[in-house]
Structure 1
Amino acid sequence: MPMLSVAIITCNEEYNLARTLASVSFADEIVIVDSGSTDRTVEIAQSFGAKVFEQSWPGFAPQKNFAIAQCTGDWVLSLDADEELSPKLRTQIQTLLPSNPPADAYFLKRRNLFLNRWIRHGGYYPDPKLRLFRRSTANFSLTPKFEDRSVHETIVFDGHSDTLDYDLIHHAYPTLEGYLEHMDRYSTLGAELLVTAGRTSREWPAFYWNVLIVPTLTFGWNYIFRLGFLDGREGLLLHLYHSAYVSWKYAKAWRAALLLKSN
């Protein structure tokens, strides 16, 4: 029987972690890499029998790769602490792995929740993520040409992939305050990479385009043409504030470049 390891990175995830771990209780091994939690995260992980490792925060991709490196199973399921397997996905994985699967890696369809509503439109579903793979065939990587990869790391792998039928549930932003805080922080990280790449919108046409036009087009594309308006008030807020995030990112890059120049 192939062994399944679950790899999760954490920092102050007591609100989410028990739900996540309960959904993968069938796994042969659970590996938690924690970066200095001050709440009950580690206690909760240990209560589920997880192997807990402590490591200072080196960035998303290195931390997730470290977690994978601690796994001993034939297969690895990489999850975020605010995700859980739906019951049908859990059953499918339990059935799949003993059957000598033909693929080396599997995408999971992610069901994103915003203010506890399933966002079905605007490009947010099915949002496939490669999360289940044979150990040693995949790892997380940052791709420099994508300015947001300091936040949204991706998996690279060798071999054949497929997509499972059922959903990974992502409890992304249960509160509006949490979402706005995340977008503020992520836009700062994105701005830092834009500055490094020299994309600082220093000229007036570029500034106008990136800070105003691109966010407006982003909102129109996702909310109108990709039917985001069908997700009610939550859909409106999500797309409106996501377009604001795009504007913040370029504005912060412009401002950081000015400060660097003045120094």
Structure 2
Amino acid sequence: MPQKLSVAIITLNEEANLRRTLASVQFADEVIVLDSGSTDSTLEIAGSFKNTKVFCEEWKGFSQQKNSAIEKCSGTWVLSLDADEELSPELQTEIRLLLIGEPRADAYLLRRRNLFLGRWIRYGGYYPDAKLRLFRHHAANFAPPARFTERPVHETITFEGKLETLHHDLIHHAYPTIESYIEHMDRYSTLGAQIVIERGKTSRSWMAFYWNIVAVPTFTFTWNYFFRLGFLDGREGLLLHLYHSTYTSWKYAKAWQTISKR
């Protein structure tokens, strides 16, 4: 007997992405959309799809918001997606077939295909960008349920049990424009600076300042663009690796700025 699948998605002004995402999970038994105050047509789009339940809550941070969406799921299995992701047709079929029987694992990594300016980024460490997204809602043997860890950004799922990887791709429509990438990196570098400070990875010394603001970003670009073959992704690859190294510099600069004011 097929096992029930719930999909959990958090949203905020995702009218440009949500229709595509929901269309790719119409085989699921239910879809939970947890919105945090959209002012565009996100809620109308969500309500137009079958088996979709829409909830609204104030923003609590990425981890808490995603965990709240998971808690509203009633399925045996949960698929957690971002609103700018979609399942490839091959992955849709693979998940359907997986849940017809008894899956061998308790959680599954999905191979993520990242798009930047519309181009699939294949090199430089960006593919396969495996993410744990499919998992049993309630683990066996009284193990703690799978949940996102508490951190400001780049949250990950913790669970107990057997982990495997599916064969087909989750497509991430990450940054369709340079402007959207810069806006995200500005916001994420602020959140990343909080993590840097909490881990004690910054200081007021000139040597640490130079290392984190200049040396680490330069090494990051050189390693990913040249040694991990990022240059094979053309102009888009150059821009992505250049701006990603800039994000690294911003993150440490913001951390330094914060501690220097104390």
What interval of TM-score do these two structures reach, taking the shorter chain for normalisation? Answer: over 0.9
Taking the TM superposition and a 5 Å limit, the aligned residue runs for 1:189-204 are: 189-204=191-206
2:163 to 161, 164, 177: 161
Q: What is the CA deviation profile of residues 18-55 of structure 1, one whole-angstrom value per residue up to 9, with x for unaligned ones?
A: 00000001111000110000011111101013101111
**TM-score, structure 1 normalization:** 0.94
Runs of at least 5 residues in structure 2 that lack an aligned partner in the other structure: 140-145
Classify the secondary structure of the residue corresponding to 2:245: helix
Deviation, 1:201, is 3.0
Deviation, 1:197, is 3.9
Q: What is the CA deviation profile of residues 76-132 of structure 1, one whole-angstrom value per residue up to 9, with x for unaligned ones?
A: 111000000000000111111011111111110000000000000000000111111
- For 1:12, the equivalent position in structure 2 comes to 13
- For 1:141, the equivalent position in structure 2 comes to 149
Cα RMSD, aligned residues only? 1.0
**TM-score, structure 2 normalization:** 0.95
Contact 1:201 1:250 in 2 (8 A): no
Contact 2:152 2:194 in 1 (8 A): no
- For 1:117, the equivalent position in structure 2 comes to 119
Q: What is the CA deviation profile of residues 186-226 of structure 1, one whole-angstrom value per residue up to 9, with x for unaligned ones?
A: 11111123234443331000001000000000000100110
Contact 1:18 1:45 in 2 (8 A): yes
Contact 1:35 1:54 in 2 (8 A): yes
- For 2:225, the equivalent position in structure 1 comes to 223
Q: Which amino acid aligns with 1:38?
A: T
Q: Once the two structures are aligned, what percentage of the paired residues are identical? A: 68
Q: Which amino acid aligns with 1:102?
A: R
- For 2:143, the equivalent position in structure 1 comes to none
- For 1:211, the equivalent position in structure 2 comes to 213
In structure 2, C-alpha distance between the alignment counterparts of 1:199 and 1:128, rounded to whole Å: 26
Runs of at least 5 residues in structure 1 that lack an aligned partner in the other structure: 143-148
Contact 1:201 1:210 in 2 (8 A): no
- For 1:145, the equivalent position in structure 2 comes to none
Q: Which amino acid aligns with 2:168?
A: Y
1:86 to 85, 88, 94: 88
In structure 2, C-alpha distance between the alignment counterparts of 1:19 and 1:130, rounded to whole Å: 21
Which stretches of structure 1, 4 residues or more, deviate above 6 A after TM superposition?
none
- For 2:142, the equivalent position in structure 1 comes to none
2:190 to 188, 209, 217: 188
Contact 2:107 2:162 in 1 (8 A): yes
Classify the secondary structure of the residue corresponding to 1:100: coil
- For 1:235, the equivalent position in structure 2 comes to 237
Q: What is the CA deviation profile of residues 151-174 of structure 1, one whole-angstrom value per residue up to 9, with x for unaligned ones?
A: 100001111111111000000000
